[in-house]
Amino acid sequence: MNEFLFTTQQGSLIIKLLISHFIADFMLQSAAMVKNKKWISSHMFFHIAIVFICTFLLSRLIYVSIIISIVHWFIDGLKMEAKSKYQVKESKLFIADQLLHVLTIVLVWLIYFNITDKLVHAIYFPFDDYKISLILL
């Protein structure tokens, strides 16, 4: 595969979006915020504001920042709902929460640059080339 999966600009943005997520979710989210978040609460709104600010400061993309922040709120709300209604281990909720956040970031990034076809091509590439398919077999 001689072509790059994405450009420097595209790679730079996905790194910035992931860094902003880790800053907002791990460095700037207090234990009180984690413990007291509800669908509608000052802790949740403050956390989502932090997500938006971090995302916007690093990406400089208002619509991307808004979408990621809204979906982040929805994912965190669902996590709080699952935590209160079902007997789910905290570690499983944490992993699901983080996977959904990262998946959201990747999907928004793919859609922003309209490069979903490149990702599909990269996934199917080993199966399109019989030599690589033979090696995998």
Q: Which amino acid is at 62?
A: I
pLDDT tens-digit readout, 84-136: 898 889 999 999 999 999 999 999 999 999 988 877 877 787 777 778 777 87
pLDDT tens-digit readout, 3-17: 567 789 999 999 999
Buried-state track 72-91, b at ≥16 Cβ within 10 A, e below 16: bbebbbebbeeeeeeeeeee
Question: What Rg do the C-alpha atoms of the chain give, in angstroms?
Answer: 18
pLDDT tens-digit readout, 15-52: 999 999 999 999 999 999 998 999 999 999 999 999 99
Q: Could you tell me the pTM of the whole model?
A: 0.85
The tokens of 30 are what? 């207090």
